[in-house]
Amino acid sequence: MQADYIIIGSGSAGSAMAYRLSEDGQHSVLVLEYGGTDIGPFVQMPGALSYPMNMSIYDWGFETEPEPHLNNRRLACPRGKVMGGSSSINGMVYVRGHAKDFDHWEESGAAGWGYKNVLPYYMRMENWHDGGHGGDPSWRGNSGPLHVSRGPRANPLYQAFVDAGQQAGYELTGDYNGEKQEGFGPMEQTVWKGRRWSAANAYLRPALQRPNCDMIRCFVRKVIIEEGRATGVEVERGGRTETIHANREVILAASSINSPKILMLSGIGPASELTEHGIEVIADRTGVGKNLQDHLELYIQQACTQPITLFKYWNLFGKGLVGAQWLFTKTGLGASNQFESAAFLRSKPGMDYPDIQYHFLPMAVRYDGKAAAEGHGFQAHVGPMRSKSRGEITLRSGNPNDAPKITFNYMSHPDDWEEFRHCIRLTRDIFSQAAFDPYRGEEIQPGEAVQTDDELDDFIREHAESAYHPCGTCKMGDKGDPMAVVDPQCRVIGVDGLRVADSSIFPRITNGNLNAPSIMSGEKASDHILGKEMLPASNRQPWLHPQWENTVFANEGS
């Protein structure tokens, strides 16, 4: 078993690299994936998104260590164990990230990853469909493998949310992935013709049609490194351990949880931790597994006085109807993730770009689908985008079959509490606007009684949930940065022939959901791996609020 390029993981970045590295037919590419097929309604039906992330057949089933600042709760940390990786079990929300996120990457040592450099890769990967809801096509791609669309926004609550935002004094945006992220507007989804348009559907399936690209199911134990160079991968398959040889490079794209785990099992990581587990140190890289970040969010829920929410389908008969319509026609409620309105806002004057994200849903339910409010309601998922808290991934033992220890250290920075309290009060203000007058019932969660800082903090401790955006554990940076794991060409520092390209390389978490920047990382890494010239930099300037130093409200004069 051998190939020019071995890609570990068939997720967002791995699938994109399989497609690009095999594109010219000159190199053999082998993708290693532990999970099985993504065929079936639970994965392919957008409306069923709460199911696959709770099914052990599709999900690694990771959970955190007890989180000390969240009442020692263990939080779920789903990661896709299936063709397409987490793009096959995620919420299908498409957010590029803000221009300033990538400029920050560049400033922190990821040279060549500024907004001007990554925008052309976003445009290359996209096939954008605006659905008549506004936006500027000149900022978007129209011929890439990844279809990006918008839901029909038929439920009046979607527009009520946007109108309420405007009434509360905030900006509107026709396309948060275009020139202007800030404001209220339509949300985008990786859905095409009623199906989840995962990285598997967009990139991996077309790649596997080529004679020079293949995928095998196996469990990766470690990367084989000989005389400072990665030469292959040790895997378990059918009860046997075998080695697959890489003629050119091994590329890790196994997620921000599994990529650092595999690096450490291979002898790359903090020397003291490796020695503790009896692992021979090949490259002492302090940053492996560190710098772990995520987005936390709260669900602010309001009862709805009109029976127009998705609750009317929240029963066996309703779900059956929605499922049958989708199975036979790929239309109806099953053909959308139901996140069809969004907002990106700045929390205070002096903040130059948004640091709060909203997903709006015309139902009051938990993300995992486990608990719906009794009766009609609607909710906003809200959370700060750039928490200063940092966690880590560490090995539980030297046994590859043991899940790693995951500690996000959520809410460990005092600013987190102030930011979350602001998010709750801001959401209440938005829900109190006239646009919601025809629909607004009692506040379900947190509830009218929860008002003081202490009461809000208690609610946050008990109810904050992960938005499932882990990243940062193999940080990209300058070779001289002791915490950097990969250089700006995604090469592991201190080992030849080995790269990492997935959300683990992000120096800092980006605004919004991470599927889009993960795919972009795979797209750009492919050009580095092939030694190609980078796509020409863009000179487009994103919109920043002209009065950002003085106000968070709409710029009336613009």
Q: Is the distance from CB of 190 to CB of 203 less than 8 angstroms?
A: no
Cα 515–chain centre separation: 4
Question: Tokens standing for 338?
Answer: 């139901």
In a domain, 312, yes or no: yes
Is 6 labelled a binding residue?
yes
Is 17 labelled a binding residue?
yes
What residues are labeled active site? 469
Number of domains forming the structure of the chain: 1
In a domain, 419, yes or no: yes
Residue 556 pLDDT: 66
Q: 548: buried, middle or exposed (CB in 10 Å: 19+, 13-18, 0-12)?
A: middle
Averages of pLDDT over runs of 10 residues in the chain (558 residues) are: 97 98 98 97 95 95 98 98 98 98 98 98 96 85 97 97 98 97 98 98 98 98 98 97 98 98 98 98 98 98 96 93 96 97 98 98 85 89 98 98 98 98 98 98 96 98 97 97 98 98 98 98 98 98 97 79
Is 216 labelled a binding residue?
no
The CATH number of the domain where 180 resides is what? 3.30.410.40
Is 160 labelled a binding residue?
no
Residue 373 pLDDT: 81
CB atoms within 10 A of CB 133: 18
In a domain, 5, yes or no: no
| Phi, then psi, of 37 in degrees rounded to 5 | -70, 150
Q: Is the distance from CB of 161 to CB of 187 less than 8 angstroms?
A: no
Residue entry with tokens 């309105």 = 341
In a domain, 425, yes or no: yes
In a domain, 25, yes or no: no
In a domain, 301, yes or no: yes
In a domain, 174, yes or no: yes
List all residues 6 or more positions away from 103 whose beta carbon is below 8 Å from its beta carbon: 114, 115
Domain of 320 in residue numbering reads as 152-186+296-384+412-463
Residue 374 pLDDT: 84
Is 82 labelled a binding residue?
yes
In a domain, 163, yes or no: yes
Q: Is the distance from CB of 33 to CB of 58 less than 8 angstroms?
A: no
List all residues 6 or more positions away from 63 whose beta carbon is below 8 Å from its beta carbon: 74, 75, 76, 77, 406
Q: Is the distance from CB of 495 to CB of 474 less than 8 angstroms?
A: no
Q: Is the distance from CB of 53 to CB of 59 less than 8 angstroms?
A: yes
Residue 558 pLDDT: 46
Q: What is the pTM for the complete model shown?
A: 0.98
My answer on whether omega of the bond before 446 falls inside 30° of 0, hence cis, is: yes
Is 497 labelled a binding residue?
no
Q: Tell me whether strands 146-150 and 188-189 are parallel, antiparallel or unpaired.
A: antiparallel
Question: Tokens standing for 216?
Answer: 């095998």
